[in-house]
Structures are given as structure tokens and as C-alpha cells.
Chain A
Amino acid sequence: MSSRHLAVFLWYHPWRATSAMFGFLYRRLLYMIPTVFLISVVTFVIIQLPPGDYLDTLAAELSDSGGLDEGTMQALRDQYGLGQPMYVQYLKWMSQILFHGNFGISFEKNIPVNDIIWDKLGWTFAISLMTLLFIWMTALPIGIYSAVRKYSAGDYIATFFGFIGLAVPNFLLALVMMYVAFKYFGQSVGGLVSPQYLGEPWTFDKFLDLLAHIWMPIVVVGTSGAAALIRIMRANLLDELYRPYVVTARAKGMSEFQLLLKYPVRVALNPFVSTIGWILPTLVSGEIIVAVVMNLPTTGPLLLRALLVQDMYLAGSLILLVSILTVIGTLVSDLLLAWIDPRIRYQ
């Protein structure tokens, strides 16, 4: 078999799809390495930005309460490579994280960063993912509706809310909703659960209470994304609705609803799904701001507080992890997309 025959054979072979998938996965993983490296460098720069180094601050913090003895200071100095060239410090910081899972110490609270960040990060991503679901669940039907009933009252209402959603900053929307909820519905605002459930173990009642609170940040964070997606969906579907294949299907006597969902909506969905790449970073960003306003137990308030008191290892770890988790989330969504849509893996 000549190499040309082999190539043709491989092209048609059924496992080609799988191998293309692996090739795609391999390429994407390879691209991730420089991205993650850049993220870590930027984070390191942010940690280094405030004047003075970590130990100066730590020593100043602890000098009131007796201070640190010289041995501990020296041990910490070695651990972080303080006083040595920048790249040594960077390597030491990175190797602590990579090989020991050690993100340093939050000197404001004087406990390892590891102990405080993980459940906050979990909440941030839980809310971001729920927001993504919310966006899809609202933008898809509304987008289809405003394309099919173009220039109807409903379309104008959707367009109007779409523009408002784009123009109102997240935090402003959060403030307005909190004001309305407090003033007209008397709901306790801020936090994810009512005050009486704080620190309680999880029960069904607490879960219901969580549901009663969590919709607000989801709606606030999701509004601008949903607004953008409604516009995209509407434009895409309008491009498809008057194509000959739609007319053909209609001529064959297909019911209007079936026809709509089976052909033009499916075509219009493609760019819709591919927006996943930019939507996750936007949602995480939005969640962080909204969390500050609504006082949610997520990354936002912790990061802001850490930055304001210059608790740099805590702040740096949060920025590093939020960014890396977002990149991983985007990768997962890209893989899902490639799995759904074969055109992507052959690019």
C-alpha cells in the first residue's frame, strides 16, 4: 500500500474521528501551557508590586505580639527566596505551589492560604456555572421568539431589555435589585443564606433558603450575558429563516414549530455555543464584583479585602486560581463543543 493509499484509508477509517479528537485535545493542552505560565508570571508581578517584601510586612504585623525569632525568619526567607534574584523567588514560589500545594500564608489572618480559599472558589464557580445555565435557558427561547416574531411588541421589549442589560453595569443592577427587594418585598439582602442559617449544618430548610437567595446574584451576573446572546441568536436565526431549505421544508408540509427547531435553530446554535470561550471569563469577573456588593461568601469580597490590606499571597493565590480554573473551564467547554461539532476538531 502506497503512502497515498494509506492516507486515503486513514481518512475514511472510523477511528479517525477519535484520533482527530485526541489531536485537538493535545493541541489545546499544549496551548494551555504558555497561558498558565503567563498567568503565573502576571500573578507573581502583582504579588511583588506593593513596596517592601512579605517578611517585612509579617515582621511588622507580629512585632506587637512578641515578634518572630530569628530562626523562623531565616526559614521563611529560605522558603520564599527573599533577597535573591526575582527569578529565584518566582521559581521557589512556583515549586512550593506545584510540589507541595502550598500557596503561602495569609498574614492578615495568619493561617495558610489553603485553609480559606477553596470553598470560596467553589462558590464562585458554582454561581458562574449556574449563571451560564440561566443565560442559555433565557437567551435561547427569547432569541428564537424575537427572530420569528420580528418587529412584534415582544421583539421590541426583548431588544429594549437587551440594550438595558448591556448598558447597566453589574454592580449597579445588584444595588438596584437589593434596594427593590428590601424596600418592596422586605427580603433580607446580602449573603447566600438568611442570617439564622449561618454556620448551621446543611438541612433541607437551609437549602430552600439558599435557593431563595441565590437567584438574585445569578440574574444580576447573567443579565448582560443573556442580553448579548439574545442579540446574537436573533441575528443568526434571521440569517437562516429565509433560506431556501426552510422554504422547502415548509413546502413539504412540516409543522412550523418542528421545522424551526429541527433546521434553522440548529444551524443558528453554532456561533451561540462557541461564545462559551469568552463568556466564562466574563461571568467570573461579574460574579466577583457582584459578590462584593451583595456580600456573598465567594472570592470577590475576600480578594478585595486582601488587596486593600495588601495581603499579597492570599490575593495572588486567588487571582492565580480563578484565572487557571477559568482557563480549564474554557478548555472543557471547547472540548464539549468539538465533540458536538466535528468541524472544530479538524481546524
Chain B
Amino acid sequence: MTVETTLGPSGTEEEHTPELLGPWALMWRKFRRHRVAYVSLWITGLIYFMALFGDFLAPEKVDETNRRGIFVPPQGIHFLVTDEDGSRSFQLHAKALKMQVDRATMRRSYVQDPDKIIPLGFFVEGYSYEILGLIPSKTHFFGPKNPRDIVYFLGSDRLGRDILSRIIIGTKISMSIGLVGIVVSLVIGVSLGGLSGYYGGWVDTLIQRLVEFLRSIPTIPLWMGLAAAIPLGWPPLYTYFVVTIIVSMIGWTSLAREVRGKFLSLRNEDFITAARLDGLTDWEVIRKHMVPSFSSHIIASLTLAVPLMILAETSLSFLGIGLQPPIVSWGTLLKEAQNIRSIIEAPWLLIAPGTMIVIAVLALNFLGDGLRDAADPHAH
């Protein structure tokens, strides 16, 4: 149809030939009018960009510990430098810090070193990595110009690791769990919901009972039980996939219900009967005529399920029974802020990853809301 032409940013052609717009183009048009949802699309896009190019954006290596930078509070970025002769010039920089230890209370504190600044810049040299795992590179988007300097823009944790870099790298795991989980629940939800709605009868009853069962029990204790059974010695990748599958158990029940409802209402439509009388097999009817007529709804409800999965992963990892610490995700980052003592000492451990989660979840929620409204032809 017209997907390729209308998804482009210009949209001038549409104005002249409105009668040629396909359903996707109409949906896109309606979606763009929804301001909050449109902005959320960009934010979501940025977050996934962050997930893809994490190493490029992160100023420090994610597991680089630093004994001289434990619990450093967030360092600000300054713009103007005063030379010896008093003239001011523009130079992005951060103030260097000196650690002081109060011997009586054994507390660390950091004071700014007035004589020393750390110049900052864009596209600076840092640790080596591979872009998308393919192209080796040392260039980083933003950071100290001298690779040996460290600046903690969002503070550091108990091992002196940079929180900003950890949040950026953690994006990959946290956001992809939502996506992989969605694929799993899409497969389960659409096939079970489809079976249920298309065939009806005892298949329908059985599947509906299963859905009701899963919705009637509190999920967290159940997931805790399943996630706790993951052996600690497992490779991170295994753990990741098992957690994803556990987490994706939320999404599919509501999706299955929705698909079932759509199948039930479409089953008796004239165009479906016509297709069947034309001699199409069940599978062909479903694939060619039914799925296209409700795929936009599915996309919308999938988008709304992603934030639920992100929250579920975060909760499990936070409790220490989902992903385990060598893996960096927003949940494992928040695990560092688990008790009130560490939050009092270093509130940025809670605030920085917490804000990131809230932004991601809000953006995905607004995006899903906008998509749902756009997909509904009866919405006003």
C-alpha cells in the first residue's frame, strides 16, 4: 500500500490525493495530530538509539572501578574559563574534585579543586569498543578531552563506577527485554487468542479458563518463585532469556483477549464469508483477511505492554532474583539503592536510574495511547 510514501516526513503529496490514502496512512495522519504521542515517539526513538549506540554515548567504561571516586556526587558542566589575566573564554569543562576523608567519622567528602579544570568536548577519544559490535572505534560522543580524566555527570556508585555510563549501557538490556518479551507474547497471544476466537467451542472455553487463571492470581509471588529457580551459575545470556520469558507472561493474556474479541466479531462479517466461499483455507482467511484488519490494534496494545514488562524486569532485578549484577540493567542499577542508608548517602543512585525508568515508561504509555486512538476509526 502507501506505507513507504506516507511514513516519510514531508507529507505534502497526501494533501493533493487524499482519496488514495490507505488505512496505515490515515492512521499515521491521525497519530501525528496527537501532540503528546508524537513527542513520545521521538523520545522512545531516542531511547532505542541509546540502546543501539550505548558505547558511543557512554563516556566511561561500564565496569571501570575507581577507588578514588567512590560516591562522587553529580558533577556539573561549566561553560566559561577565566584565564590568569582575567579574560574569559568559552570552554566546556568540569571542576576537578579532591577527596577528603574525615578521620573521626570515616566519611568521604569531595571539594572542588579551584586550580584544576577538566576540559570537556564532543567526539572525544575514550575506551575502545565496536559500533554495533562490528566497527572498532574509540570515539565517544561527549566526555573529558583527556581520556585519563573521569567526570561523573550523574555521580558514581560504591565502586566508583560512572552512573551515567551505566544507565546508558543498561538501556540495551532494559529496553530489549520489553521488545523480546513482546515478540514472545505476540506469538502466544495471537495464536491462542486466534484459536480461541476462530474455532470457539471447547478450545475457546479451555483457553479462556487459562487466561482467567493467569489474571486471577497475584503474579509477583509466582514470578519470584520462577525467577528464584534460575541457577546463579548460569551464563548471563540464559538468565536474560529466562527472565524475558517469565516477564512476557504478563503481556499475552490481555492480547489474547483482544485478538479473540476481534476474531469473534470478524468471523461473521460478509467479506470473511465471501473469502471462505471462494475456497480459501482457514489459514489463508486468517492471514490475508483477518489479521490485516486488526493489526493496528495489536500494535497499539503491544506498545502498551512494553512498559509493563520493563517495570516487571526492573522489579525482579531490584529484588535480586531477576538479572544478576554483572549484567547492567536499570533494575540492577536500582538494586544499589536498595536500603535507606545508601539512598541517604547517595541519593543520585536512586534518582538517576529512577528518572530514566519513569521517562521510558511514560513515553511508551503515551505512544501506545496515541496509537490506540489513531487505530480506532470511531474515536473522536
B212 partner, pick from A35, A288, A315, beta carbons under 8 A:
A35
B319 surroundings in chain A (CB, below 8 A)? 171, 289, 292, 304
Contact call A167/B221, Cβ cutoff below 8 A: no
Max chain A C-beta neighbours (<10 A), residue from B228, B334, B337 = B228
Closest-CB distance, B24 to chain A (whole angstroms)? 27
Q: Is B70 an interface residue (CB 8 A)?
A: no
Question: In the docked arrangement, what's the CA distance between A303 and B222, Å?
Answer: 11
Question: In the docked arrangement, what's the CA distance between A318 and B222, Å?
Answer: 10
Contact call A307/B218, Cβ cutoff below 8 A: no
Contact call B229/A46, Cβ cutoff below 8 A: yes
B213 partner, pick from A38, A46, A284, beta carbons under 8 A:
A38
B311 partner, pick from A39, A169, A323, beta carbons under 8 A:
A169
User: How does the 8 Å CB contact mask read for A259-290 relative to B, with 1 for contact and 0 for none?
Assistant: 00000000000000000011001101110110
Q: Is B108 an interface residue (CB 8 A)?
A: no
Max chain B C-beta neighbours (<10 A), residue from A31, A182, A292 = A292
A323 partner, pick from B218, B318, B321, B338, beta carbons under 8 A:
B218
Q: Is A157 an interface residue (CB 8 A)?
A: no
Closest-CB distance, B102 to chain A (whole angstroms)? 21
B343 surroundings in chain A (CB, below 8 A)? 175, 178-179
A176 surroundings in chain B (CB, below 8 A)? 350, 354
B311 surroundings in chain A (CB, below 8 A)? 169
Q: Is B225 an interface residue (CB 8 A)?
A: yes
B217 partner, pick from A51, A164, A169, A323, beta carbons under 8 A:
A323
With A163-B362, A284-B218, A307-B228 in contact, is A189–B340 under 8 Å at CB? yes
Q: Is A172 an interface residue (CB 8 A)?
A: yes
Q: Is A166 an interface residue (CB 8 A)?
A: yes
Closest-CB distance, B338 to chain A (whole angstroms)? 8
Contact call A169/B315, Cβ cutoff below 8 A: yes
Question: In the docked arrangement, what's the CA distance between A338 and B250, Å?
Answer: 28
Q: Is B274 an interface residue (CB 8 A)?
A: no
B228 surroundings in chain A (CB, below 8 A)? 307-308, 310, 315
With A35-B216, A38-B213, A277-B216 in contact, is A175–B221 under 8 Å at CB? no
Contact call A289/B222, Cβ cutoff below 8 A: no
B358 surroundings in chain A (CB, below 8 A)? 164, 167-168, 172
Q: Is A122 an interface residue (CB 8 A)?
A: no
Closest-CB distance, A240 to chain B (whole angstroms)? 16
Closest-CB distance, A50 to chain B (whole angstroms)? 6
Contact call A175/B224, Cβ cutoff below 8 A: no
Closest-CB distance, B314 to chain A (whole angstroms)? 6
Question: In the docked arrangement, what's the CA distance between A310 and B350, Å?
Answer: 29
* Those of B199-229 within 8 Å (CB) of chain A: 209, 212-213, 215-222, 224-226, 228-229
Q: Is B74 an interface residue (CB 8 A)?
A: no
B221 surroundings in chain A (CB, below 8 A)? 284-285, 288, 299, 303, 318-319, 322-323
With A167-B361, A170-B315 in contact, is A46–B220 under 8 Å at CB? no
B168 surroundings in chain A (CB, below 8 A)? none
Closest-CB distance, A191 to chain B (whole angstroms)? 12
A286 surroundings in chain B (CB, below 8 A)? 220
A278 partner, pick from B209, B215, B229, beta carbons under 8 A:
B215
B362 surroundings in chain A (CB, below 8 A)? 163-164, 167
B318 surroundings in chain A (CB, below 8 A)? 171
Q: Is A102 an interface residue (CB 8 A)?
A: no
Question: In the docked arrangement, what's the CA distance between A327 and B222, Å?
Answer: 14
User: How does the 8 Å CB contact mask read for B229-242 relative to A, with 1 for contact and 0 for none?
Assistant: 10100000000000
* Those of B306-361 within 8 Å (CB) of chain A: 307, 311, 314-315, 318-321, 334, 337-338, 340, 343-344, 347, 350, 354, 357-358, 361
A318 surroundings in chain B (CB, below 8 A)? 221
Q: Which residue of B lies closest to A43 (CB)?
A: B225
Closest-CB distance, B369 to chain A (whole angstroms)? 10
* Those of A173-218 within 8 Å (CB) of chain B: 175-176, 178-179, 182-183, 189-190
Question: In the docked arrangement, what's the CA distance between A285 and B319, Å?
Answer: 13
Question: In the docked arrangement, what's the CA distance between A169 and B218, Å?
Answer: 16
Q: Is A138 an interface residue (CB 8 A)?
A: no
Contact call B218/A322, Cβ cutoff below 8 A: yes
Contact call A319/B307, Cβ cutoff below 8 A: no
B222 surroundings in chain A (CB, below 8 A)? 42, 46, 319, 323
Q: Is A330 an interface residue (CB 8 A)?
A: yes
Contact call A35/B213, Cβ cutoff below 8 A: yes
Contact call B365/A167, Cβ cutoff below 8 A: yes
Contact call A307/B365, Cβ cutoff below 8 A: no
Question: In the docked arrangement, what's the CA distance between A315 and B319, Å?
Answer: 15
Contact call A303/B224, Cβ cutoff below 8 A: yes
Q: Is A253 an interface residue (CB 8 A)?
A: no
Question: In the docked arrangement, what's the CA distance between A318 and B361, Å?
Answer: 31
A292 surroundings in chain B (CB, below 8 A)? 319
Closest-CB distance, A164 to chain B (whole angstroms)? 7
Q: Is A71 an interface residue (CB 8 A)?
A: no
Question: In the docked arrangement, what's the CA distance between A318 and B220, Å?
Answer: 12
Q: Is A49 an interface residue (CB 8 A)?
A: yes
Q: Is A101 an interface residue (CB 8 A)?
A: no
Closest-CB distance, B339 to chain A (whole angstroms)? 9
* Those of A287-327 within 8 Å (CB) of chain B: 288-289, 292-293, 299, 303-304, 307-308, 310, 315-316, 318-319, 322-323, 326-327
Contact call A281/B218, Cβ cutoff below 8 A: yes
* Those of B170-226 within 8 Å (CB) of chain A: 209, 212-213, 215-222, 224-226
Contact call B215/A288, Cβ cutoff below 8 A: no
With A175-B350, A289-B319 in contact, is A326–B218 under 8 Å at CB? yes
Show 13 A/B contacts (Cβ-Cβ < 8 Å), sorted by A.
A31-B212, A35-B209, A35-B212, A46-B226, A163-B365, A167-B365, A179-B340, A281-B218, A284-B220, A289-B319, A307-B321, A308-B320, A326-B216
Which residues of B are at the interface with A, using a C-beta cutoff of 8 A?
Answer: 209, 212-213, 215-222, 224-226, 228-229, 231, 307, 311, 314-315, 318-321, 334, 337-338, 340, 343-344, 347, 350, 354, 357-358, 361-362, 365-366
A-B pairs with lowest CB-CB distance, top 5:
A49-B229, A285-B220, A307-B228, A46-B225, A284-B218
Known: A171-B315, A326-B216. 19 other contacts (CB 8 A): A35-B209, A42-B222, A163-B366, A164-B358, A169-B311, A172-B358, A175-B340, A175-B343, A179-B343, A183-B344, A277-B215, A281-B218, A285-B218, A288-B224, A289-B220, A307-B321, A322-B221, A323-B217, A323-B218
